[in-house]
Amino acid sequence: MKLVVSDKKTGKSYPIEVADDKKSLFIGRKVGDKVPGDEFGLFGYTLELTGGSDISGIPMRPDISGSRKAKILLSGGAGFNPTRKGERRKKMVRGSHYTADNAQVNAFISAYGQSAPDQLIKLPEKAEKK
């Protein structure tokens, strides 16, 4: 599972690989809940969950209750980007509760700690092009 933490102050996002034993911190929570960042190396930080996607890439929506999948009519927002004015489509989305099927969890920093997130999170190094 991957946790993507967004910093609204700098506009940067930080991907964090979540260990198998830490996945249980998300299971049963829903979009909008707050999670302490201490478990993920962000000491003193508080993270607010904003969404995510499951192992098939189906996005989560906060307006769908439970963890079920549903095919709903969308006019915009998570899961559908209309190309024409007034366009609507039926799309498959997932509910707002996190389960073991989630592959990605999105969150933003709602309360900051002492040090900058750049110092706490070790980003993967990019491979050099040949």
Per domain, the residue ranges of the chain are: 2-60+96-117
User: Structure pTM?
Assistant: 0.83
Q: What is the pLDDT of residues 2-20, one digit of tens each?
A: 999 998 888 989 898 888 8
Rounded Cα distance between 127 and 50, Å, is: 30
Q: What is the pLDDT of residues 104-127, one digit of tens each?
A: 999 999 988 887 777 777 666 654
Q: What is the pLDDT of residues 66-118, one digit of tens each?
A: 989 999 999 988 888 899 999 999 999 999 999 999 999 999 999 888 877 77
- Terminal-to-terminal C-alpha distance of the chain: 31
What does R_g of the chain's alpha carbons equal in angstroms?
Answer: 16
User: ∠ CA(103), CA(109), CA(111), 5° rounding?
Assistant: 140
If DSSP codes are grouped into helix, strand and coil, which group holds residue 97? strand
Rounded Cα distance between 1 and 102, Å, is: 7
